[in-house]
Structure 1
Amino acid sequence: MRGISVVEEYWSGVLRRLQAEVDIFNKLIKHWGERGRENELSLARLLENLIPRHYGVGSGMVIDCHDKYSQQTDIVVFDQADEPAFLAQSNQVLFPVENVRACIEVKTTVNKEELKESGSKRASLHKLTPMQGKHPLFHFVGYKPGQYPDTISRHLRALEDTQKPDLFCVVDIGMIGGRKDLLQPVFGDTLVGTDDYVIAMTCLHARDASGQRQLGVYKEPPEDFTEPRILHDGGSYPIVALGRDWKVAEPSRSLLIFCACLVHTLAVHDGKPPPASSHYLSGATLDIVEI
């Protein structure tokens, strides 16, 4: 059975750097608005180094030719090859909806109120009328949970279909999911659930005697644990309540899956072949526990 790949090892490092950057900003910056903006910028910098160069990453409002506009959007992924420069001459950048490929809402803490707010932003985006192409996808990334995963899951499912994020990730607890039709091309036959909207968690795998990951078998937290995280193989992993059980989450895999699905949807939107990086995701990477 195949173990962790070089891509997964790399992303474990990426996540550690991202978390360290976010933690430092959150300790140094006391103002919540500024703290949130710095967290948005941390994710934006990651995406700028990830997505193909002909896409740009910005922040602002999405508009249509009928003078309608979306709410302020944390991260806008757009086709910068066709972006007219006259709409980017101030800090409040306006993005024509036809050129926008994805909008991403970023939250430091995830709870019911933040999810409802993101839902209203997705709804405002879909009130725009593209003159060509289709609406941009709307995604949600949260760093830390304000509630248990089961509770976050209930709040997500309670949203109207027009308000649910197309893809989402709550990084610190390894939550990942979204519309099944967007996840399926990356997961293939491994996505066995029947629900059209997938909500899942990436758990830390147990290893066999040779150090290989065991699909569907996960490391258990110590029975008498007193700390919210465990150290394993040089990494720190959160212990998360899932139903009546405690699980050890693997946040780097959830972030990797989110980014892989994001890049795949960008390619599909523009009629390009799937990115080569999708071939480097092992079965262990895509092994999730649906909630």
Structure 2
Amino acid sequence: MSGPGRLEDIYAAVNTRFVAELSAAQNALQHPTMKGDTTEAQWIEVLSTHLPARYRVGTGQIIDHRGAVSQQIDVVIYDRTYTPLLYSQQGAQYIPVESVYAVFEVKQNLSKAHIHYAQDKVKSVRALDRTSAPIYSANGPVPARPLFSIVGGLLTYQSDYTPSLSDAMVAAHSLAQEDRLDLGCVAADVAYAFSFASTGSIAMTTSAKAPVVAFFLMLLERLSSLATVPAIDYGKYLTFFECQTVPHPGDETTPLPEIHASGSPQE
């Protein structure tokens, strides 16, 4: 088969497999922590598998050059092009805020309490102080990039709302830039994305068809619109070490030794 029908089959297969995995974890695991850790790992795996290679997906805390740290974040989408991982050991990571595209909270169900909890997590990331430095290439420096708003969202298996995207569900979301959620997915039911106007109004794009895949494409659309993360200003991070630059003029009467191609001084 070719054409749109084949694409629909691929989307349906990916969606069905992932929802089945989430359902199995729901039914097999009783301990809340085990269930939560497993579900978090499942979301990380599916995003890591399907996102383009430029994006990294993990879990951890976000840190800035002042040493301020976010709350623990379940799913972090970040970029290693311009920024290093400051610490990574057995799943625990400190990720520089400059490298972060998006953060998500993972819960079993969509509820008012979990929406507010996810908003607090997102707020703790957006409150960090990001740097932005020029980007250097063979063609010379490119000016420092303006900072974008880090994408935030909530990923769940099912919803406490009936229907999932009821007026009460939408009303539970903040409109404030510092903690609002941009994207969400109820894997067994629907994917949704919010758009916020400067007038304070809110619009929502939804899809009940293959919701996990729909969410993935909504996410890719948002990530593409961000282009790339800012380059980290390493000078700001170096202030922690209290570095000093000390003038050290050489003895101009003593010429430096001439170096052979082999690297040995010429006698």
One fold, TM greater than 0.5?
A: yes
Question: Partner of 1:139 in structure 2?
Answer: 153
Question: Partner of 1:171 in structure 2?
Answer: 187
Unpaired runs of 5+ residues, structure 2, are: 133-146, 230-267
One-letter identity of the residue aligned with 2:26: N
CA RMSD, 1 decimal: 2.5
Equivalent residues of 1:97, 1:135 under 8 A apart: no
CA apart distance, 1:23? 1.2
Question: Partner of 1:278 in structure 2?
Answer: none
Structure 1 pair 9–117 and aligned structure 2 pair: CA distance change class (3 A): same
Question: Partner of 2:48 in structure 1?
Answer: 48
- SS of the aligned residue for 1:68 comes to coil
Structure 1 pair 86–117 and aligned structure 2 pair: CA distance change class (3 A): closer
Matched, 1:27 2:40: no
Question: Partner of 1:79 in structure 2?
Answer: 79
Matched, 1:267 2:267: no
Matched, 1:198 2:203: yes
* Distance in 1 (alpha carbons) for counterparts of 2:205 and 2:224: 24
Question: Partner of 1:234 in structure 2?
Answer: none
One-letter identity of the residue aligned with 2:56: G
* Distance in 2 (alpha carbons) for counterparts of 1:199 and 1:134: 20
- Bigger shift: 100-109 or 259-268? 259-268
Question: Partner of 2:117 in structure 1?
Answer: 117
CA apart distance, 1:126? 1.4
CA apart distance, 1:162? 2.9
- SS of the aligned residue for 1:88 comes to strand
**TM-score, normalised with respect to structure 1:** 0.65
CA apart distance, 1:63? 0.8
Unpaired runs of 5+ residues, structure 1, are: 182-193, 203-248, 273-291
The within-5 A match list for 1:140-155 is 140-148=154-162, 149=164, 150=166, 151-155=168-172
- SS of the aligned residue for 2:204 comes to strand
Equivalent residues of 1:167, 1:179 under 8 A apart: no
CA apart distance, 1:80? 2.5
Question: Partner of 1:102 in structure 2?
Answer: 102
CA apart distance, 1:75? 0.6
Larger Rg: 2
Question: Partner of 2:59 in structure 1?
Answer: 59
* Distance in 1 (alpha carbons) for counterparts of 2:200 and 2:212: 22
**TM-score, normalised with respect to structure 2:** 0.70
